[in-house]
Structure 1
Amino acid sequence: MEENTVDHRLPERLFATDRFARYRLNIYSRPNILAFVRHVLRYSLAFGNIRESSFRKLFDLPTRQIPVSCKLIHNLLSRQLLCNQEYTLWSVFCKDPLRFSLEEFGTITGLNCGVFPKGYEAPDYNRKGANKQKVAHKYPLLQKIIGKYNNITISDLAAELENDKQMDEWRRIRLALIIIVDGVLIASQQIHRPTLRYVHMLEDVMLSSNSLGSVNLSCTPYVT
């Protein structure tokens, strides 16, 4: 069987075998940020806490050797199969089906990709302006962590994290978590900026000698 021949043993493909996806890929994630965070926070209490959190496996990845391969992602999406499983991507690789789902994502990253706790209600972040920095004055936590700045970028926060040697540990760990989430995990734009919804999740982060306390930065199916 030729490489691009339809295999009728598999589900229907999303695209015809001689057609390819034309929309732009989200290629804004920068895994090298993890190496930066490790370097800047080395030997610190903040980094020790992050290493004891659900983010610990991210720092086991050889990020300098695994740049984002847009060509690989494009080929997987172009060979995607139509399946009924939610939050799961099935593709064809060497004529065989290949699955990548939240389960695999959780295995690789170590993040909590399980179901929400009983009684959990997801906040409505789809309302207009819910994630915009221009409403930062309404959220004291955002001002406390980031400051009274409009359109501040993740690059600005990284520079501050690197150069401010007198920064309190409680703020260092929060800035590091914002940089990791908005620069690596949920990077959705070319110029990375802190997202209000993720800043809210830092409210209950507690520093301790060996853990992140009650921090809850889980991977959820509706995250884009």
Structure 2
Amino acid sequence: MISSHNVLVDQAFRTPQFWLLFAVLFLNVTAGIGVLGQASVMIQEMFSDRVLGAGNGVTAAAAAGFVGLLSIFNMAGRFFWSSTSDRIGRKPTYMIFFALGAALYFLIPMFGNMGSLILFVAGFCVIMSMYGGGFATIPAYLRDMFGTANVGAIHGRLLLAWSAAAIVGPSLVNGFRDRQIASGVPAAQAYSTTMSIMAALLVMGFAANLLVRPVAQRYWADTRTPAAHPGDD
């Protein structure tokens, strides 16, 4: 999966690999950033005094600490997962992101229904580490696919996926939560549908990553400087 050839930015834009990686980044970021903005509200609603009993619910201060913890795992994941990808490869690393992330999104509502705050926090910490790791690993994935000649420019175009995900992710979480509550679903249970949708997005990301193959030879570009010949000016 590591190419020894270069693909120029305009050619890379025409390859199926670029758009598959665009989908990979978009779906990974959508699932991660969608819950990050609602993390404080989510933990307070799922583990409120009404659910756990008076005096046992998560306070606003504790919820702020939870958000801070997620930020730490987001940062740490960038180091851990990018280093892991150097050992096992970019494609297998993203397969872990999507498979493990989908499983955790399915399980998190169950953790909330069980009243297990520890499992809930641990699950989201792992998800946030993979969110950060996905963002940090994508430049190396692009280098493997398209070579080093134009990887910076290719990465710049691919970041459009991050920008789109920053809009779609929070909109999905907020929209479905508000609809659930408006239809009479208790706030503590309003995230079950949203978590299932996030899991489905990650399954789609897994499929997109699975389809990534080396770039076809017709897209390669020879970027070496031609050797000089005697008599050339």
| TM, length-normalised to structure 2 | 0.28
Higher radius of gyration, 1 or 2: 2
Please, what TM-score do these two structures have when normalized by structure 1?
0.29
Q: Counting helix residues as a fraction of each chain, which structure ranks higher?
A: 2
Structure with the bigger RCO (C-alpha within 8 Å, sep 6+) is: 2
Which structure dedicates a bigger proportion of its chain to strand? 1
